[in-house]
Amino acid sequence: MSFRQALYWNVAAVAVASFFAFAAAPATAQQASNVAINKDDIGGVVTGPNGPEAGVWVIAETTELPTKYAKMVVTDDNGRFIIPDLPTANYSVWVRGYGLVDSPKLRAKPGQHLEVAAVLASDAKEAAHYYPAIYWYAMLKIPGSDEFGGKGELPETVTLSDYLTVLKNRACIGCHQIGQEATRTIPAQFGDFASGADAWARRVQSGQAAPLMINPLAGYLAGVPFKYFGDWTDRIAKGDLPKNKPPRPQGLERNIVVTSWEWGEPDKYLHDLISSDRRDPTVNSYGLLYGSPEYATDIIPILDPKTNTVTTFKAPVRDSDMPESLGPGHAAILKPMQPSAYWGDRQIWDTRINNHNSMFDQQGRVWMAAAFRGPDNPAFCKKGSDHPSAKIFPLDRNVRQITILDPKTQKYTFVDTCFGSHHLQFDASGRLWTSGTGQVAGWIDTKKFDETGDAAQSQGWAPFVLDTNGNGKLDDFTEPGQPIDAQKDMRITAGSGPYAVMPNPADGSVWYTVGVFAGRGGVLRFDPETRLSEIYYVPMPGFGPRGGDIDSKGVVWVSLGSGHLGSFDRRKCKGPLNGPKATGDHCPEGWTFYKYPGPGFEGIGDNSAEASYYTWVDQHNTLGLGDDVPISTANLEDGFVALKDGQMVMIRIPYPMGFYAKGLDGRIDDPNAGWKGRGLWTTNGDRTPWLMETGKGSRPRAVHIQFRPDPLAH
């Protein structure tokens, strides 16, 4: 059986391949014209030498709108396709699929039928060029057992799970994809090196995020990964190819419609976007989308998907002498450590606001995790203040506060918080909860703030305290590191503190992922009424939590560095949830693990090399797959993966290759419009959009994802 047959044809198809090869030419025109389309659609059929090509992408892109625009669909079993609802313009249309190379681009406009000829890859190397990054990254070798436990160069305390967490969603793939063409090769601009390890040691010194690469690899892991990364790129340069081949989209995966718009600037990046109110996704229907540029810039891109236009808002700061939010205390430095292969020694990031994440409220205002002053907190936060929260746990510093943008009036309001901000979420009562708060839970009573404008009186915070004496109320507590006192509760730091924040719609509690960057990884529950916390560490085979979310029943869903989507259901716990033994390891039965798709690293057992950054739960069926469907970023597979009815559904963004997201949001524009009235919104979230297929000059893309009833619905 030939390579292309092995990849695509089942036994029955192979039996009739010669018939399709003979009949393809006369059947194509008839099939294309038989695809019923509207005047704003492009439809037709894709055929290859062996007949119709099922499960391949058809991409239409134009530069004739106010910003670059593309729409992508997947062919059905008979190679038919419909690209629906296209704005009036001329489009370049081509086919992309596994086992193929990109077809020549055809010029087309809405209302036109196309006969598209697929082009088979001439060999395995040509085919592998289009494989998602995970298929290449899985070729990376992992240290054997003889290198752990002090037997090799790794520090004695580093375990295999520690090592993998760094190489996956904590560090290496916490900022961008690895395995796409730009990272599986060494840029020629770096020059020549004695070894691949030396080339990687130089590579990670590039740009303004160098410490985030150097410290975990050269420090925490003692430089050991460099020789493995060097070996990986050396083998690829010599012609090694992935052992595994990706399947084409199947079933529901063929019903996808992906639309993208360029926004932002070529030398900047976006962390996230927001489209609606998480609690009511009909807020801001058909409205503007707002990007979050984090360390890149103070200029916030704004997309109008109705008119395909991009505008901007330059966010101000309150203190004119505020320094840039770069350097100590931040995840980026002021100047490049070494020149970038793309931007040389330019300082390309220059933010002061450091807008990491934003959320819509029910009034249609945009609440932002954004800085507007230096890190020194006002007096009401500190020791000696009469603020109720400061009396219990004073706070001296934070590097990011809260702001509010009213799109209707363009009024921009500063909300000075004592605790930091990172991710934001509203609860049912209107309180705003944040992560990035350090050793406390922090909240804002937005109703009180709207009434009074008094930030100090509208906020509160509390330390994380376990009810280890088991009496159900908050008492005096021991400090971290002290032994348990039977008469007291116990304060914990929760490792590196809260990362994701998740108000529970079922009972009003607030959950966090914790221990993402330091300490043991797990999830933490905070009760706003009792001010008591519970912590649940991730048991093996899971490890390495990053972003997470909660469903309407109170089940927490978490992206794990182990290559799993983890869920934690507190209702499954068999033992006491408080008392001296309720310190994190008391409910392993609450955890369930679902392995992500894709190949795994060799030599470490059954695993997926996927390194998901964040998981979001579609509580309100904004995508059309159902209520409470968890959706993870598939950061090495150019998109997302949804868990529907126990099965993983891949949601891939096929163009440009290298798509990497850090978050997503759902919106229902019209609840009566079927699939056309709902969908997910996301954006490139990697710090390096120039690593995408389209190279330097590429801008981030806002992306709309929809699922229609079948591949030809329009």
Residues 6+ positions from 699 with CB-CB distance below 8 Å: 68, 262, 263, 264, 265, 266, 689
Same domain, 70 and 145: no
In whole angstroms, give the CA distance from residue 400 to residue 367: 13
Same domain, 172 and 104: no
Tell whether the torsion through CA atoms of 376, 382, 387 and 390 is positive or negative.
Answer: positive
Residue 182 lies in a domain: yes
- Identify the pLDDT of residue 424: 98
Q: What is the 3-state secondary structure (H, E, C) of 105-172?
A: CEEECCCEEEEEECEECCCHHHHHCCCCHHHHHCCCCCCCHHHCCCCCCCCCCCCHHHHHHHHHHHCC
Please state, for a pLDDT cut of 70, what percent of the chain lies above it.
96
Asked whether residue 12 carries a pLDDT value surpassing 70, the answer given is no
Q: What is the extent of the structural domain holding 120? A: 3-128
Which residue, 661, 541, 645, is CA-closest to 611?
Answer: 661
- Identify the pLDDT of residue 256: 98
CATH number, domain of 121, equals 2.60.40.1120
Q: Which of 128, 149, 177 is the last residue of a domain?
A: 128
Asked whether residue 1 carries a pLDDT value surpassing 60, the answer given is no
DSSP-derived 3-state class of residue 589: helix
Residue 560 lies in a domain: no
Q: What is the 3-state secondary structure (H, E, C) of 44-94?
A: EEEEECCEECCCCEEEEEECCCCCCEEEEEECCCCCEEEECCCCCCCEEEE
**Count of beta carbons in the 10 Å neighbourhood of residue 457:** 14
- Identify the pLDDT of residue 573: 98
In whole angstroms, give the CA distance from residue 510 to residue 495: 17
Asked whether residue 6 carries a pLDDT value surpassing 60, the answer given is no
Same domain, 122 and 139: no
In whole angstroms, give the CA distance from residue 69 to residue 65: 7
Can you tell me the mean pLDDT for 34-40? 95
Q: For 356-371, what is each residue's pLDDT tens digit?
A: 999 999 999 999 999 9
Residue 161 lies in a domain: yes
Same domain, 85 and 184: no
Q: Dihedral through CA 275, CA 277, CA 282, CA 284, nearest 10?
A: -50
The first and second tokens of residue 67, run together, are 């910003």
Q: Angle formed by the axes of helices 196-203 and 224-237, to 10°?
A: 110
Asked whether residue 154 carries a pLDDT value surpassing 60, the answer given is yes
Query: DSSP code of 243?
Result: S
Q: For 388-430, what is each residue's pLDDT tens digit?
A: 999 999 999 999 999 999 999 999 999 999 999 999 999 999 9
The first and second tokens of residue 544, run together, are 């390495």
User: What residue has token string 């093996």?
Assistant: 540
pLDDT-based confidence at 30, cuts 50/70/90? low
- Identify the pLDDT of residue 158: 97
Is this structure's pTM higher than 0.85? Answer: yes
Residue 122 lies in a domain: yes
Q: Which of 178, 207, 237 is the last residue of a domain?
A: 237
Q: What is the CA radius of gyration of the chain?
A: 26
DSSP-derived 3-state class of residue 203: helix
In whole angstroms, give the CA distance from residue 118 to residue 616: 36
Which residue, 652, 660, 679, 611, is CA-closest to 173?
Answer: 611
- Identify the pLDDT of residue 29: 58
Contact 667, 275 (CB under 8 A): yes
Same domain, 73 and 96: yes
pLDDT-based confidence at 10, cuts 50/70/90? very low
Q: Dihedral through CA 304, CA 654, CA 694, CA 107, nearest 10?
A: -80
The first and second tokens of residue 367, run together, are 């609440």
Can you tell me the mean pLDDT for 58-66? 98
Same domain, 123 and 10: yes
Q: For 581-602, what is each residue's pLDDT tens digit?
A: 999 999 999 999 999 999 999 9
In whole angstroms, give the CA distance from residue 147 to residue 168: 19
Contact 601, 548 (CB under 8 A): no
The first and second tokens of residue 52, run together, are 């119709």
Asked whether residue 4 carries a pLDDT value surpassing 80, the answer given is no
- Identify the pLDDT of residue 13: 32
Same domain, 117 and 164: no
Asked whether residue 22 carries a pLDDT value surpassing 90, the answer given is no
Contact 365, 413 (CB under 8 A): no
Contact 526, 464 (CB under 8 A): yes
Same domain, 156 and 225: yes
User: What residue has token string 């030939």?
Assistant: 2
Can you tell me the mean pLDDT for 627-633? 98
Say how many CA atoms lie within 13 Å of 36 toward its Cβ.
Answer: 2
Residue 249 lies in a domain: no
Residue 57 lies in a domain: yes
Same domain, 115 and 163: no
pLDDT-based confidence at 260, cuts 50/70/90? very high
Asked whether residue 2 carries a pLDDT value surpassing 90, the answer given is no
CA–chain centroid gap for 35, Å, is 36
Which residue, 208, 172, 204, is CA-closest to 326?
Answer: 208
Residue 209 lies in a domain: yes
Which residue, 180, 262, 276, is CA-closest to 680?
Answer: 276
Residue 368 lies in a domain: no
Q: Which of 109, 128, 147 is the last residue of a domain?
A: 128
Alpha helix ranges (H) inside 551-708: none
> What's the mean per-residue pLDDT of the chain?
95
Same domain, 171 and 64: no
Can you tell me the mean pLDDT for 258-283? 98
Say how many domains are in the chain: 2
Same domain, 115 and 165: no
Same domain, 159 and 182: yes
